[in-house]
Structure 1
């Protein structure tokens, strides 16, 4: 069962038909405003390479290197429980970093990986 924050974010994704204060992913689906704090194409959400994501018994392990996301300037490791991942609007992984590159705000995974 989804945690309450995950359910709220998922509902936001469905309710907000437009980008209302957020920006869209490259493939055109909107990042929920609760996840994205930027309203331009260089906001804080972006597709990341699938090779940077590993699955484990309790969730995703995401290792970001400079170049994997436009805000990343050094290596970061994020552990994300499956229950906290949101379904992506395409078949790619995406991450929102806010208020800085050290903080994962939202993580999106392809539905078949969750």
Structure 2
């Protein structure tokens, strides 16, 4: 029974965005599988739209230091369209985990999908 209480408490906290995932804005949160911390120490963050280039098969993202709080050198990522998650605030976001070289989740605005 204690396990069920923990699951219920976790679900309630996720609903208001206060546990397991951090929030880019109050209106939505990154999924827990994508983000493992708060906006300063977490893997996820908003990125400039100028860093994202659509191609026929997906997005190419080139990030430099300053584009995302985890990036320390220029990195290139490719995300196929079928792996893109809709953004909750009409901006691009990326989650880098376990290192800055590894794209874990990528979010795109609805008009870009």
TM-score interval, smaller chain: 0.7 to 0.9
Q: Does structure 1 residue 34 correspond to structure 2 residue 38? A: no
Paired residue for 2:63? Answer: 64
TM-score (norm 2): 0.82
Please say if residues 48 and 92 of structure 2, whose CA atoms lie closer than 8 Å, have aligned partners that are also in contact. Answer: yes
Paired residue for 1:21? Answer: 20
TM-score (norm 1): 0.81
Structure 2: which 5+ residue stretches go unaligned?
1-13
Q: Using CA pairs below 8 Å that are at least 6 residues apart, which structure has the higher relative contact order? A: 1
Q: Deviations over 1:16-47 (max 9, x none)?
A: 4233311000x222111010011x22111000
Structure 1: which 5+ residue stretches go unaligned?
1-15
Paired residue for 1:79? Answer: 78
- Root-mean-square deviation (CA, aligned residues, Å) is 1.0
Between the two proteins, the alignment pairs up a number of residues equal to: 97
Higher-Rg member (1/2): 2
Aligned-partner SS, 2:15: coil
